Chain A
Amino acid sequence: MLDLTKYESLGAALRDAVARWPDEVCLIEADREREKSRLTYRQFQEAAEPLAAALEDSGFAAGDRAAIIMTNQPKWLISAYAVFFAGGVVVPLDYKLSAKEHLQLLAHSKSKVLFVEYPLWRAITQAADFSALAVQTVLVTEAPPNVGLAGARRWEEFHAARAPEFRLRSRQDMACIVYSSGTGGRPKGCVLTHGNYLEQCRALTALYPFWPGVRYLSILPTNHAIDFMVGFIGPFTCGATVVHLRTLRPEFVREAFTRYKITYMSLVPLVLGNLQKGLQQRFAELPPLKRKIFNALLAANKRLTRRRPNLALSRRLLKQVHQAFGGELRALFVGGAFTEPQTLQFFYELGIQVANGYGLTEAGTAVTLNDFNPVRTDTVGRPLPGVELRIAEPDAEGIGEVAVRSNTVMSHYLDDPELTAETIVDGWLMTGDFGRIDDAGHLQLLGRKKNMIVTSEGKNIYPEDIENSFAGLAVKEYCIFAANFVWPQRSMVGEQLVLVLHPETGRAVDDALRAEISRRNMHLLNYKRVSGYVVWDRDFPRTASMKIKRAVLAEEIGKALDRAAVVSL
């Protein structure tokens, strides 16, 4: 791989990567069972540099920002490469947000350029606030012929014949603005520097190396911090191949493993759990004799890999299982949310390493990772090289807020010095998660300090962001909490949102109100829905500017009501 200590920016490292491995395949795009395109690093460069030149010709300057709203596909990476080459800042936006949310984040990030897929652009042009869009250049991919583009240009036609000027950036310069939450409330744009990413990439590839011939399967969108790192920067700086599969459907994911002989893949706990269920079902359907043999081999593998993994041995003992994953799988990276220990154990016993760790957008990608020395499924592993962890204000059992210090911690929140000062204290990033560090140096996570939930799909949900969806309810006041924020539990699983209703004096929560709540709830995306409500008959404590004092209210409710008081919706 490239020696990343020698580089000042992602642009410089990526530029050298494409020059170093010109004939290696860098990108494969597959949709279901069809392969749509295949690019070598040379072809990638030939697609990206004319785009960089055209960006420069359009007035895009060093330090300018370019947002990308796309599913996981090669044009995402080609566009990002062009932006970095031209000295720009990439703003990766989640394509699953609504058009209204996209417009809010485009405005907040002050993006000058937008790269967007046609169906997503069409939705943005139909949003109520579209006229306020201030982006100078919009480049739309895969637009059908003869459709209006509302002032945007076709990505495929946007290129200049001249060689672009490579623009130097330093490690301290902004590389990406990544939104960790919030559109309804306060957008949190994490400013990550070139140095943050280069250091993160070095630490991760030391544990999970890439090299030419390695094939990484990408099913997560590249705006996701994990895919950006292990599905772009990591493989590219090592000459490896990224396979983009443009569907999440389990049957095609399974097929891609064998067709492309995948080495690594990232997924969220929901998909990992689905793989587990599928395998368990297949094991259960084995005829009695085969099942007996399989169980014996499984027991042998379990015994022989108790202390540390032995991939070659596991591949021999459990050949059919490993063949189903293509036969060359080295690890699955799981992230975005908490993974059940029993799921990690299940895969470990099959000889499939699941790299489970702990990360947050504010700290790059990952700050801890399990190292299988020996396997521990009850923790999120030890700190990565260069990462320091401490537990702030620990209680008698050593549990307190996890704090992180590392070269991978973001520079600041965009345009929010107050929030930055609350979050990065004396050089330590306060994570808002509770945990403890055991004698072996492993971090164990034990709940959240923050009023938020993370779904098994890896979605961070902040209650304030969805409160607007219940505006105008026939109650005196209402708010939404993460249930664990009101009734703390030392757990990161099964998190739920609860609506707190303060009815008008003398009124109860009747069927009509319940029906209205259910109706509003239905309009939210499935993972953003509240699961129940509680009735609270006292005025909400508020600040002078009438904002709800959430922490105070949560404490009052937690003391007065039991969690069982939540009425399911």
Chain B
Amino acid sequence: MNVIVKTIEQTTEEILTLAATHFKVPRAGLQASDDFYKKLGIDSLQALELLTRLENHFGVELPDYEVQGVSDFSTLASRIQARL
């Protein structure tokens, strides 16, 4: 069986695109190193909303505690990548 594994760069790119779409901000304004709370102007519940979107997209489950203390896209990407 062929398994197509995404690279961390692909995962990050997809996260940035989804975040931009979900919170209606220009994709070009987001970078991997950005703090998503600040950049998107969201609270911790909205961050969980984003997480649900990402789970549906990537087909993985991320427990809430996995993202405690995570506030930048690249760390989020690595947490998702580890579960792909």
* Residues in A lying within 8 Å of B, measured CB to CB: 71, 95-96, 98, 117, 119-120, 246-251, 270-271, 274, 456-457, 522, 525-527
Decide: B45 and A271 in contact? CB cutoff 8 A: yes
What is the CA–CA distance of A79 and B37 in the complex, to the nearest angstrom? Answer: 35
Which of chain A's residues have a CB closer than 8 A to the CB of B71? 522, 525-526
Q: Which chain B residue shows the least CB distance to A523? A: B71
Which of chain B's residues have a CB closer than 8 A to the CB of A71? 64-65
What is the CA–CA distance of A526 and B34 in the complex, to the nearest angstrom? Answer: 13
Decide: B69 and A98 in contact? CB cutoff 8 A: yes
- For chain B, the bracket of interface size reads 10 to 19
Return A566 CB to nearest CB of chain B, in Å: 17
What is the CA–CA distance of A525 and B38 in the complex, to the nearest angstrom? Answer: 11
Decide: B35 and A522 in contact? CB cutoff 8 A: yes
Residues of B43-71 whose CB lies within 8 A of A? 43-45, 48-49, 51-52, 63-66, 68-69, 71
How many A-B residue contacts, CB cutoff 8 Å?
48
Decide: A250 and B64 in contact? CB cutoff 8 A: no
Which of chain A's residues have a CB closer than 8 A to the CB of B48? 247-250
Decide: A119 and B45 in contact? CB cutoff 8 A: no
Which of chain B's residues have a CB closer than 8 A to the CB of A527? 44
* Residues in B lying within 8 Å of A, measured CB to CB: 35, 37-38, 43-45, 48-49, 51-52, 63-66, 68-69, 71-72
What is the CA–CA distance of A249 and B51 in the complex, to the nearest angstrom? Answer: 9
Residue with the greatest number of chain A CB neighbours at <10 A, chosen from B35, B44, B66: B44
Which of chain A's residues have a CB closer than 8 A to the CB of B52? 249, 251
Which of chain A's residues have a CB closer than 8 A to the CB of B43? 270, 456
Decide: B45 and A248 in contact? CB cutoff 8 A: yes
What is the CA–CA distance of A250 and B46 in the complex, to the nearest angstrom? Answer: 9
Q: Which chain B residue shows the least CB distance to A456? A: B43
What is the CA–CA distance of A522 and B72 in the complex, to the nearest angstrom? Answer: 9
Q: Which chain B residue shows the least CB distance to A98? A: B69
Decide: A270 and B44 in contact? CB cutoff 8 A: yes
What is the CA–CA distance of A251 and B50 in the complex, to the nearest angstrom? Answer: 12
Which of chain B's residues have a CB closer than 8 A to the CB of A120? 65
Decide: B69 and A250 in contact? CB cutoff 8 A: no
Which of chain B's residues have a CB closer than 8 A to the CB of A246? 63-64
Q: A247-B48, A250-B45 are in contact. List 5 more A-B contacts (CB 8 A).
A: A117-B65, A270-B44, A522-B38, A526-B44, A526-B71
Decide: A274 and B45 in contact? CB cutoff 8 A: yes
Return B23 CB to nearest CB of chain A, in Å: 15
Which of chain B's residues have a CB closer than 8 A to the CB of A456? 43
Return B50 CB to nearest CB of chain A, in Å: 10
Decide: A250 and B49 in contact? CB cutoff 8 A: yes
Q: Which chain B residue shows the least CB distance to A247? A: B64
What is the CA–CA distance of A274 and B44 in the complex, to the nearest angstrom? Answer: 11
Which of chain B's residues have a CB closer than 8 A to the CB of A247? 48, 63-64
Q: List 19 A-B contacts (CB under 8 A).
A: A95-B65, A98-B69, A119-B66, A246-B63, A247-B48, A248-B48, A248-B64, A250-B48, A250-B49, A270-B45, A274-B45, A457-B44, A522-B35, A522-B38, A522-B71, A525-B69, A525-B71, A526-B35, A526-B38
Q: Which chain B residue shows the least CB distance to A277? A: B45
Return B68 CB to nearest CB of chain A, in Å: 6
What is the CA–CA distance of A211 and B48 in the complex, to the nearest angstrom? Answer: 34
What is the CA–CA distance of A247 and B44 in the complex, to the nearest angstrom? Answer: 12
